[in-house]
């Protein structure tokens, strides 16, 4: 009887596995087609589903800032976007099956996010709907709605559980260090031909492609954005992991060396914003940790003065990308580096100047993200504000990539979107501040870095000087907030005071303590 049952299992196994293996083998004879990637990807998903079911949350944390494009799926989502959908779905199923595993609540953040969803849905309904040209619709722009909704959903995926204290540093490391995958794309020029498939998933940066095209792929000349982003991630993680006290005051000589090395590598990308983020993180961490009250203040002032004294005469001798990164400073630099940086600023200013006159007409009802073929033809042929933007910027303006966060909010969702995003920003700032001030001491530097990252993103929006667009940037807001809530098990408040005894009319009255968490 047992032999018959085992034989039946074997027959069923072979009946499934053998035809499947033959089909995969046939498809792999032409491995670079989209259909092959889709089928093999679906098969791989089925095989790794048990792993996802158990480890989807740490995988989500690592993939949050990872650069891995799933090009074989329509719309080419990033791995982080796919993991948001998978992790949130699995977390909901886990909650249904086990009510004891509940989401970490923070109503002050949840309400503005739900309000944002309502504003987006109403605006989309009144401006052409959510159409995706990649799936056959004649409406463009649906991908931006998907990105925005996934950014909002990411908050709930991150807060689907409270991170145990013993895993706090590990999970925080996964969240920060996913960005090291930026490095892979910049290895493309040095990779063997058989590895080309890797770079379909990890595409080279624009600077690397340009360097290959023009034959100027030299260290310090080509803008290696992947290496720069990887260095920035490692720079921020060292600050988050050890803090400036742990880097400079614990006698570990390799920590300051690594911090300075990563700070220099950041300039290989030639991005002024990366230098600003690194400088802001260092400065805010210095004051948050109270180091201005220690002898380190004098040491850093002296080191800064020495650095400036060396930088001023040597600035124009630095590599091109270093000079471009420092172009915002009043230094004597190579004119080509200064012109390259200034050109980037000029086209942004030209785009914003062309778009500002459109704000009043979209104040009550935003234009949404939908673009119909008729609208596209009218914009390109009619006399609109887009005509003031030169040809190199028209595609960005039409696509809603304004490189200005608040303009993207007000043009896309009107005054209602502005109100909701400001509500959300202030609520998130309050949560991160409270968790920094009243969170567990062992998480202090991590909470500080989450606060700094959020402060940078919020500041760039409020100053109208940064951001790509609200659809892309929503994850930059929800990520630090959701991670902070998961690490601190909610929103921290001052520790409960001891029960006080008050004399009232000759009687003693108990004063209950305030709750520790919201």
By three-state DSSP, how is residue 78 classified?
A: strand
Global confidence as pTM: 0.84
- pLDDT for 79 beyond 70: yes
Look at residue 8 in the predicted model and tell me its pLDDT. Answer: 57
Instruction: Assign 52 a pLDDT band (cuts: 50, 70, 90).
Output: confident
pLDDT (mean) for 404-427 = 91
Separation between Cα atoms, residue 365 and residue 127, nearest integer Å: 9
Residue that has been written with the tokens 């249904």 in this structure: 96
Quick check: 132 and 73 in contact, CB under 8 A? no
Q: What is the maximal distance between C-alpha atoms in the chain? A: 92
pLDDT of residue 295: 87
User: Distance between terminal CA atoms of the chain?
Assistant: 60
Q: What share of the chain is helix, strand, coil (3-state, %, to 5)?
A: 70, 5, 25
Of residues 66 and 400, the one with the higher pLDDT is 66
Q: Convert the pLDDT of each residue in 440-498 to its tens digit.
A: 999 999 999 999 999 999 988 888 666 678 888 899 999 999 999 999 999 998 877 66
Assess contact for 431 and 491: CB atoms under 8 A. Answer: yes
Q: Percentage of the chain surpassing pLDDT 90?
A: 38
The token pair that represents 225 in the structure block: 């954005």
* Greatest mean pLDDT among 42-51, 279-288, 455-464: 279-288
Reference 210, options 333, 320, 346, 67; nearest CA is 320
Distance CA 222, CA 320 (A): 8
Read off the pLDDT of residues 189-199 as tens digits, 9 standing for 90 and up: 887 877 788 88
Please, which pLDDT band fits residue 499 given cuts at 50, 70 and 90? Answer: low
**Run of H or E including 405:** helix 405-438
Range name among 47-61, 201-215, 300-314, 393-407 with the lowest pLDDT average: 393-407
**For residue 403, what is the DSSP state?**
S
What pLDDT does residue 512 have? 45
- Give the mean model confidence (pLDDT) for residues 127-139: 63
Cβ atoms of 322 and 306 within 8 Å: the answer is: no
- Percentage above 70 pLDDT, the chain: 76
pLDDT at 172 over 50: yes
Report which of residues 276 and 403 the model is more confident about.
Answer: 276
Q: How many CB atoms are closer than 10 A to CB 240?
A: 24
- Kindly report the number of other CB atoms within 10 A of residue 65's CB atom: 22
DSSP 20-33: HHHHHHHHTTSTTS
- List the beta bridge partners of residue 503: 508
Look at residue 321 and tell me whether its pLDDT is greater than 90.
no
Average pLDDT of the segment spanning 405-434:
92
Q: Is the pLDDT of residue 309 over 80?
A: yes
CA distance 429 to 162: 20
Work out the pLDDT band at 53, boundaries 50, 70, 90: confident
- Comparing 152 with 357, the larger pLDDT belongs to 152
Nearest to 461 by CA among 397, 414, 410, 399: 410
Q: How sure is the predictor about 329, in pLDDT bands with cuts at 50, 70 and 90? A: confident
Q: Which of 190, 198, 196 is nearest to 219 (CA)?
A: 190
Cα(154)–Cα(474) distance, integer angstroms: 9
CA distance 166 to 197: 38
């Amino acid at each position: 009887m047992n032999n018959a049952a085992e034989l039946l299992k074997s027959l069923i196994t072979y009946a499934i596995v053998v035809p499947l293996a033959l089909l995969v083998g046939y498809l792999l004879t032409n491995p670079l087609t989209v259909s092959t990637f889709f089928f093999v990807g679906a098969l791989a998903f089925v095989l790794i589903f048990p792993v996802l079911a158990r480890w989807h949350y740490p995988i989500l944390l690592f993939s949050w800032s990872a650069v891995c494009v799933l090009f074989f799926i329509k719309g080419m989502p990033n791995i982080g976007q796919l993991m948001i959908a998978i992790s949130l779905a699995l977390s909901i199923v886990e909650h249904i099956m086990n009510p004891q595993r509940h989401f970490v609540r923070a109503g002050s953040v949840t309400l503005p996010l739900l309000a944002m969803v309502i504003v987006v849905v109403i605006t989309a309904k009144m401006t052409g709907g959510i159409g995706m040209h990649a799936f056959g619709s004649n409406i463009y722009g649906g991908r931006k709605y998907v990105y925005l909704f996934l950014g909002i959903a990411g908050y709930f995926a991150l807060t689907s559980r409270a991170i145990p204290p013993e895993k706090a540093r590990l999970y925080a490391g996964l969240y920060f260090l996913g960005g090291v995958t930026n490095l892979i794309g910049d290895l493309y020029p040095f990779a063997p031909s058989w590895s080309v498939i890797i770079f379909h998933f990890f595409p080279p940066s624009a600077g690397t492609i340009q360097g290959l095209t023009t034959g100027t792929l030299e260290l310090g000349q080509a803008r290696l954005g992947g290496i720069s982003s990887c260095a920035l991630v490692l720079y921020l993680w060292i600050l988050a992991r050890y803090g400036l006290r742990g880097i400079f005051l614990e006698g570990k000589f390799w920590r300051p060396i690594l911090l300075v090395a990563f700070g220099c590598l950041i300039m290989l990308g030639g991005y002024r914003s990366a230098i600003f983020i690194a400088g802001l993180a260092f400065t805010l961490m210095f004051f948050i940790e109270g180091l201005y009250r220690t002898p380190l203040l004098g040491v850093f002032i002296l080191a800064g003065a020495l650095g400036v004294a060396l930088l001023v005469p040597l600035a124009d001798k630095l590599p091109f990308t270093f000079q471009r990164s420092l172009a915002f400073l009043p230094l004597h630099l190579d004119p080509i580096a200064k012109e390259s940086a200034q050109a980037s600023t000029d086209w942004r200013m030209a785009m914003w100047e062309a778009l500002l006159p459109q704000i009043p007409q979209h104040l009550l009802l935003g234009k949404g993200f939908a673009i119909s073929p008729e609208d596209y033809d009218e914009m390109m042929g009619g006399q609109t504000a887009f005509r003031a933007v030169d040809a190199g910027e028209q595609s960005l303006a039409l696509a809603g990539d304004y490189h200005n966060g608040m303009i993207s909010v007000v043009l896309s969702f009107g005054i209602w979107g502005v109100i909701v995003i400001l509500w959300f920003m202030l609520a998130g700032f309050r949560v991160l501040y409270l968790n920094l001030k009243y969170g567990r001491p062992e998480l202090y530097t991590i909470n500080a870095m989450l606060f700094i990252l959020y402060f940078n993103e919020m500041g760039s929006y409020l100053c109208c000087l940064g951001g790509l667009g609200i659809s892309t940037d929503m994850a930059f807001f929800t990520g630090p907030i959701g991670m902070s809530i998961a690490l601190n098990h909610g929103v921290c408040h001052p520790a409960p005071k001891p029960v006080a005894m008050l004399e009232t009319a000759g009687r003693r009255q108990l004063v209950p303590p305030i709750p520790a968490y919201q």
